[in-house]
Structure 1
């Protein structure tokens, strides 16, 4: 059971701005069961759809791969400027079932590419015409960008999962939809963001060192989260989980890589210090840059 020092009320997954929230369309106060709501939006699982990419192996035991499985929409967990996150039940009739978070990047006409330029430095696609279209923000280019954000997040999660970083397992990628492990309770209650928690001193210390360990693995792989903050970290019981990784930065290739890494550390160090666990970000930044091999 989750420690009562952490927020016990229902939280939404990966919220970055409360002004963009929608309420869930189902009540999860009791254990969820898709059979309780026959009107739910149910369709066959997209696991075997042509073009779908699957997460790294070995897969966790809870991943449902049976072709007879059904996907049922259970509600909106988060709406944002660039993607919406939906709660989906994937279940085999009279068989295994699991909850997933389906992150769906917005269509071109509804997206706000307010962060593209800095993060996309050093990223290229195979066809030069696609690169040009993305740079000029044509309709086709914006669609390509949406797909690139989804693919970047799916690839980053798969890489970090394989390296042992605490991230949601990436179940599958289909177009601009990334299907992820749902981080939370079986009743559909999402794990709170770090910013929503009120941890004790001992819990702060544990969470900080979990964070440092994760950042070290990222740096040794030549990566930085790129948008790290207390709003892009979940607290699942005693476990810290990194989320929201479409903007992941290659700190070696990206000319602003060192600045992104330093900003990540400063953002989270400021929060921990404000909660009564003072940390100096500078020594950690120096260590991470050294681990990344750029200083």
Structure 2
């Protein structure tokens, strides 16, 4: 792999996001569609459940989730569904055809097996206070959290899948990959320029931190190579820097990243990486520390 991994440019005038943005977990149009059960929705539900790629994942697609997919189709975000990209304990990701290009559709399971782990990331995040223990609300909050985190990361100049739309527990975003093949993870490629790749990942971690976010689960398994760029995935668990566990999660991210690149032959030090990520942003006026 010989890519140079160019960094995204940052628009200095673009705000990175509101640290205290509230997340609404009230019922959405998808819930109302599922309750109404009109003829068009019933036809859509039958058509989806009869397709081969969804038959084996029937437990993922309860009526409200199908209502969310139906609403996204009606709103013009999805034209046709493709096959699965990945399946996991918390979510399945599928390809789909959007109005302009291929897209990815991430469906979070309401009955997620990692429900308690989700709570560990949500508890202490000021955006999610007062959600309680309602499983549906937690998963909807998690989905909206990933959408909000992707938007904030993108504004901060971090290469992530572009968030397109969200409905209940379904997230529509940019598809990273080519025809019939998703983008490869760093764990799946031969990194010929580990120093350059490490510097890009370090800079994206630094930009995330300055945007008020810590990835929280960063490793070679959720960094992919797409069109010569390194892209960070899976920001659902990303937390604000005000989260009580943010330092612990950031230290773990630094350990994982440094350990991977050390295995690639680049002498990456996790302490130096942590210092670089958390280094205060320089005062643009040059007056820091001066008295007025």
Change (3 A) 1:229 1:217: same
Deviations 1:166-201 (A, max 9, x none): 00100111111110100111x13111011111121x
Give the match's secondary structure for 2:195.
helix
Contact 1:118/1:256, CA 8 A, preserved across alignment: no
Q: 1:262 aligned to 219, 228, 251, which one?
A: 251
In structure 1, which of residues 115, 120, 123 is the aligned counterpart of residue 122 of structure 2?
A: 120
Hey, what's the Cα distance between the residues in 2 that align with 1:125 and 1:242? 22
Q: Match for 1:233 among 216, 223, 235? A: 223
Report if the CA contact (8 A) 2:160-2:231 is conserved: yes
Aligned length: 219
In the TM superposition, what is the alpha-carbon distance from 1:229 to its structure 2 partner? 0.8
Could you say which structure has the larger radius of gyration? Answer: 2
Shift of the alpha carbon at 1:250? 1.0
Matching residue within 22, 46, 71 for 2:72? 46
Listed as ranges, the gaps of 5+ residues in structure 2 are 4-51, 54-68, 283-292
Match of 2:93 among 85, 99, 117: 85
- Matched with 1:196 is 188
Mapping of residues 72-151 of structure 1, within 5 Å? 72-91=80-99, 97-108=100-111, 110-123=112-125, 128=130, 131-132=131-132, 134=133, 141-151=134-144
Q: What is the match of residue 208 of structure 1?
A: 198
Does residue 250 in structure 1 map to residue 240 in structure 2? Answer: yes
Q: What runs of 5+ residues in structure 1 fail to find an aligned partner?
A: 5-23, 26-42, 50-66, 92-96, 135-140
CA separation of 1:285 and 1:87: change in aligned 2, threshold 3 A:
same
Distance (Å, rounded) in 1 between the aligned partners of 2:129 and 2:250: 29
Q: Secondary structure at 1:231's aligned position in 2?
A: coil
For the Cα contact (< 8 Å) 2:183–2:226, is it kept in 1?
A: yes
Residues 1:70 and 1:160: Cα distance change in structure 2 (over 3 Å): closer
Question: Residue 286 of structure 1: CA displacement?
Answer: 2.2
Q: CA deviation at 1:291?
A: 3.3
Equivalent in the alignment of 2:212? 222
Residue 152 (structure 2) aligns with: 159
Question: Closer, same or farther in 2 for the Cα pair 1:45/1:72, shift >3 Å?
Answer: farther
Bigger helix fraction: 2
How high is the TM-score relative to the length of structure 2? 0.68
The alignment's TM-score, normalised by the length of structure 1, stands at 0.68
Give the direction of change, closer, same or farther, for the CA distance of 1:190–1:45 in structure 2 (3 Å limit): farther
CA distance in 1, matches of 2:259, 2:129: 42
Question: Hey, what does 2:17 align to over in structure 1?
Answer: none
